[in-house]
Structure 1
């Protein structure tokens, strides 16, 4: 895999992990359904325009979340581990094979250091569980009947499919996120597919 594409995947993994310390408080209406500890795996694909050129990439991820820490592992489509990222309130660390770890005070600093621009995906920690902050800063709980929202930071989210549509608060299976611009990236589109639980 070319280095620029590998770096883009790493930055995307860093962005995935970027919500460890930025999540807004939950409303009392959603506290019961929200889980502080989750272990997920899935696939992601990204399409965007940079310097006038259409780019795309894809990979697999694992997401291990506990109170105060998120660990993300990103692998190529063939299963080769590309990077691991750990995010805690004290900072963020990116580890790649045969390279010294990179650290920064926060995930935004780490993405800036890694690629030269910041890809903020604040909120993904909530998105993976079907929540978001809408354009007015109010807590949005997605459902099969109410599956799209524009977030406070400008993402257009659509919760496309669900693990179990009949549960009281279904867990997303596929999430599509789009944004017109993020730094020098244009027309950014991310598709996240979470593997079925169990």
Structure 2
């Protein structure tokens, strides 16, 4: 699906520095990286999950606390920050992110490292709103629909809310599930996405490295800061 006219092809380099898929995932240097046909805003909003530069943003200790000892299935409000990398099998990009979830309400924030320009994707089960992109504020019935309509790219935003807690997405059949020696999910499939966990917090309860793949599309999360709401 082509990107909306509000997002021009030439806008992508100002949103996020991109690299070819081979460079993104293997570390090889590309002599002349291509400018992707529809991917430019895809990292802009892809989950507009991203914020800050290389350092982890400071969280308010009055609102958030360490998730040590907390049952992942009981977490209703969380704040995570880190890095996201995405690929469509040919081109890709990466950035930093902050994601705040409170019940059904979410907010993803992205700040481009060079320009420090910020974008926000927010919403709940009634709809989603994208701010900061070219063409002004955009709305859709869901975050998935907004990313698909504006960017022409599918991101399982609703499912990620559960996957980042090391859980299968509620209400969707889970297939080919494998568990590690500690009984945690190691890899499984849902809605056509293959999900794998490659690293966990020191207490072993919550994942910090997550990979989701569907056909040629890939999303990788490296969570550097995990926090849950204080009661």
Does the alignment reach a TM-score above 0.5? yes
Matched-pair contact (CA < 8 Å) for 2:178–2:188:
no
Q: Deviations over 1:50-91 (max 9, x none)?
A: xxxx10100111011112300100223458244101111221
Aligned residues: 172
- Does residue 161 (structure 1) correspond to residue 199 (structure 2)? The answer is yes
Closer/same/farther in 2, CA of residues 69 and 101 from structure 1, 3 Å limit: same
Residue 217 of structure 2 corresponds to which residue in structure 1?
A: 188
Q: Secondary structure at the match of 1:125?
A: helix
Distance in 2 (alpha carbons) for counterparts of 1:32 and 1:6: 34
Q: Secondary structure at the match of 2:109?
A: strand
Residue 57 of structure 2 corresponds to which residue in structure 1?
A: none
Q: Deviations over 1:7-30 (max 9, x none)?
A: 0113411589xxxxxxxxxxxxxx
CA RMSD of aligned residues (A): 3.4
Residue 174 of structure 1 corresponds to which residue in structure 2?
A: 209
Distance in 1 (alpha carbons) for counterparts of 2:181 and 2:197: 8
- Does residue 55 (structure 1) correspond to residue 84 (structure 2)? The answer is no
Q: Secondary structure at the match of 2:165?
A: coil
Give the TM-score, by structure 2 length. Answer: 0.62
| Bigger strand share | 1
Match of 1:128 among 136, 158, 164: 164
Give the TM-score, by structure 1 length. Answer: 0.71
Closer/same/farther in 2, CA of residues 143 and 73 from structure 1, 3 Å limit: farther
Deviates more, 1:139-148 or 1:7-16: 139-148
Matched-pair contact (CA < 8 Å) for 1:158–1:177:
yes
Distance in 1 (alpha carbons) for counterparts of 2:158 and 2:133: 27
Q: Secondary structure at the match of 1:109?
A: helix
Residues 141-156 of structure 1: matches in 2 within 5 Å? 145=182, 146-156=184-194
Gaps of 5+ in 1: 17-30, 181-186
- Does residue 7 (structure 1) correspond to residue 36 (structure 2)? The answer is no
Residue 19 of structure 1 corresponds to which residue in structure 2?
A: none
**Rg larger in 1 or in 2?**
2
